[in-house]
Amino acid sequence: MATILSEATGAQGKARAFEVIHPLDDVAEEKCSPEGLGRMHMSRSVRWSLYALRGYLLTMGLLVAYRLLTLAGVLGHHAP
């Protein structure tokens, strides 16, 4: 099912119609297989950014675990 969105005038003065096709109504395309592609090459800055993100997420997870254990009273009594 296609829907005509609007009409516009092109560079030569001809009227063009734009059709909007819903993805579920579109023709299915062949999916790409990741097998046989090999490793993805990353630059040094991308690799270090991913290491920094991994460290940040690990630190935040440890802080949440520490806070939960403190609230549960497992790590002792601290002043609120």
CA 47, 51, 57, 62: dihedral to nearest 10 degrees? 170
Structure pTM? 0.51
Average pLDDT over residues 45-74: 96
Q: Quick one: pLDDT at residue 33?
A: 86
CB 18, CB 4: distance < 8 Å = yes
- At 44, the pLDDT band (50, 70, 90 cuts) reads very high
Q: What is the mean pLDDT of residues 51-61?
A: 98
> String of b and e for 37-58 (b: at least 16 CB within 10 Å)?
eeeeeeeeeeeeeeeeeeeeee
In this structure, what token pair is assigned to residue 67?
């806070």
Write the CB contacts of 35 (distance below 8 Å, at least 6 apart in sequence).
none
